[in-house]
Amino acid sequence: MLTLNYPLVLASNSPRRQQLLKDAGFEFSVKVKPTDEDFPDTMPAPEVPVFLAKKKALAFQHEIENQIILTADTIVVVDGLILNKPQDKAEAKWMLQKLSGRKHQVITGVCVMTKDSMESYSDTTDVFFRELTDAEIDYYIENCKPFDKAGSYGVQDFVGMVGIPRIEGSYFTVMGLPVHLVYDALKKFSEL
């Protein structure tokens, strides 16, 4: 769809982000640098995903030439508590029980960096879960293994299909990439 002036590099191993970017018509390569995902304990939750997206982009700062680096980070927030990726089945179950029957926020931060510029922003979506049974949670964890997902769930997976009656905001932000914002940011580097 958009023809970019520079090659686009998606710095993410997330198959969901890769698929969304592809479905939006972008050609890109994938290159990831290991980056620690620590952030200051005192940082307000809404600032964390942008902080981490910038951190991931800055890992490329000494080798970037005529490229566009796109990074993203997604967090789940309930009661002011950030739910990252679960370490094991027990933590995944605890997270899903915490989200069950409640509203929470999913915030995805994005960074678009070139040799000459860096732009970052975030998008927030409210997600409403119905009450989940322990059997549903156990089935989901066993069959979908959500250990690479913030908050222990994917909106596109079983638990999202049966457990989320509504969202307020972008579905794609919950999947991990606010495509509407990424498209607008990348338009600046296109021939359109």
Residues annotated as catalytic are: 73
3-state SS class at 9: strand
Residue with tokens 């198959």: 15
CA angle, 120 then 122 then 126, to 5° = 175
- Half-sphere exposure of 128 toward its Cβ, with a 13 Å CA cutoff? 5
Beta-bridge partner residues of 168: 126
**C-alpha dihedral, 137 to 91 to 109 to 61, nearest 10°:** -140
Half-sphere exposure of 174 (CA within 13 A, CB side): 21
Give burial (CB, 10 Å; 0-12/13-18/19+) of 140. Answer: buried
SS3 120: strand
Q: What CA–CA distance (Å, rounded) separates 135 from 31?
A: 38
